[in-house]
Amino acid sequence: MNKSKIQQIWDFSYADYCNSDFFQSDIQKKASRAIMDCKSGTLGYSISECTECGHIEIHNNSCRNRNCPNCQAVNKEIWVDKRRAEVIDSSYFHVVFTLPHELNHLIYCNQKSLYGLLHRCCAETLLELSANKKYLGATPGIIQVLHTWNQELDYHVHMHCIISGGGLTQEQKIRKSKDKFFIPVKVLRDKFKGKYLSCLDHMYQQKQLSFSSSCEKLRNSYEWKEFKNDLYAKEWCPYIKETFNGFGNALEYLGRYTHKIAISNNRILSVTEKEVTFSARGKSSGDPKRKITLTNQEFIRRYLMHVLPHSFQKVRYYGFLNNRSKAKNLKLIFKLQGHQKFRQRFTGLSIAELLKVVWNFDITICPACGCCSMKPVGRTYAQNDW
């Protein structure tokens, strides 16, 4: 099998990276092994045979690691299809909350707790303001997706939120917003900034934060106070990226975010034994794409920064989509609206059937004789998969 471009980078330079001074967590090492082993045969393979002509096909197993850019397409389609059944008849909005870069060092050495805090503060900001009758006066549905990178693969922590423009009131009725976004950006900004910094300071006072050498000085209470005051003085900028006329469009849009990895293979333009060149969007709207060249080791370092902590849920659901009461809430909303806008399309489909429906790729067709007669006859697994 021809190796993907990202696998070539790891093949050329991961051993040297491991021998360098760069620290790797266990989850980062696991992600690296998965990237190198994906579809290489190391993880086993499945065998199918044509019942007509006897032709045999061998397919190497995927790693299915969420940090591998080769393994997200099917998961994305299944996720988007499940969300279709949760569409209500209202407008939808895409909001992005970004944390100041001054927080980067502190966040990176407290990833699980401070990523979780970001999720909570974004959701509480949107839910508390939405409950105000001045804005919506109802509980909307919210899907949040954490991202930690920018186009250059630098550390850039931000949250993508899809929020419905309609929701349930306390009287269990539906209330919808106007076409434009119903919460002013400045109100979002002030609420979110105050909430996040207040919670962060509480964690500091309770000694719940760790400090690496890059932010060691913050252990000093005076330095912490100065640091906090500077953050309060900064302009935090929540960004409303787009208003969607229909949730179908919003889902397809968000689908690109939920299973997106820091960089995809198609952005990697060239790989040598020492360097990698990849494309990036222009810095301003309308600017041409840029080419970024890094050493392989620097590329690996940046890529591994975005491997999330073990079992951390980067996609979370709030409002009437919260996992505990989602089914009950949606049943009520569809009853009040008189219809369910979309249904799932892929329920009960096998992976082979899904490939045929979505990509028009039929794995049952023999590439040798063209008959629809390929049948699975065997499968092997990597020893550590058992």
Residue 246 lies in a domain: yes
Q: pLDDT at position 257, please?
A: 73
DSSP string over 22-71? ----HHHHHHHHHHHHTTSSTT-EEEEEETTT--EEEEEPP---TT-TTS
Beta-strand pair 45-50/92-98: unpaired
Residue 45 lies in a domain: no
Q: pLDDT at position 385, please?
A: 43
Identity at 289, one-letter amino acid code? K
Q: pLDDT at position 261, please?
A: 86
Nearest residue to 9 via CA among 379, 254, 297, 239: 297
Residue 385 lies in a domain: no
Residue 33 lies in a domain: no
Residue 240 lies in a domain: yes
Residue 83 lies in a domain: yes
Tens digit of each residue's pLDDT, the chain (386 residues): 578 999 999 999 999 999 998 999 999 999 999 999 999 989 999 999 999 999 999 989 999 999 998 888 888 888 888 888 898 988 888 899 999 999 999 999 999 999 999 999 999 999 999 999 999 999 999 999 999 999 999 999 999 999 999 999 999 999 998 767 889 999 999 999 999 999 999 999 999 999 999 999 999 999 999 999 999 999 898 888 766 655 556 667 667 777 788 998 899 999 999 999 999 998 887 889 999 999 999 999 999 999 999 999 999 999 999 999 999 999 999 999 998 888 888 888 888 888 899 888 998 999 999 888 889 888 877 654 43
* CA–CA distance, 284 with 191 (Å, rounded to integer): 28
- Give 3-state DSSP helix, strand, coil % of the chain, rounded to 5: 40, 20, 40
Q: pLDDT at position 38, please?
A: 94
Q: Which domain holds residue 251?
A: 73-262+306-337
Alpha-carbon distances of 378 from 57, 71, 197, rounded to whole Å: 11, 22, 56
Rg, C-alpha atoms of the chain = 24
Residue 21 lies in a domain: no
Nearest residue to 306 via CA among 133, 86, 111: 111
Residue 166 lies in a domain: yes
Q: pLDDT at position 30, please?
A: 97
Domains in the chain, number = 1
Q: pLDDT at position 73, please?
A: 84
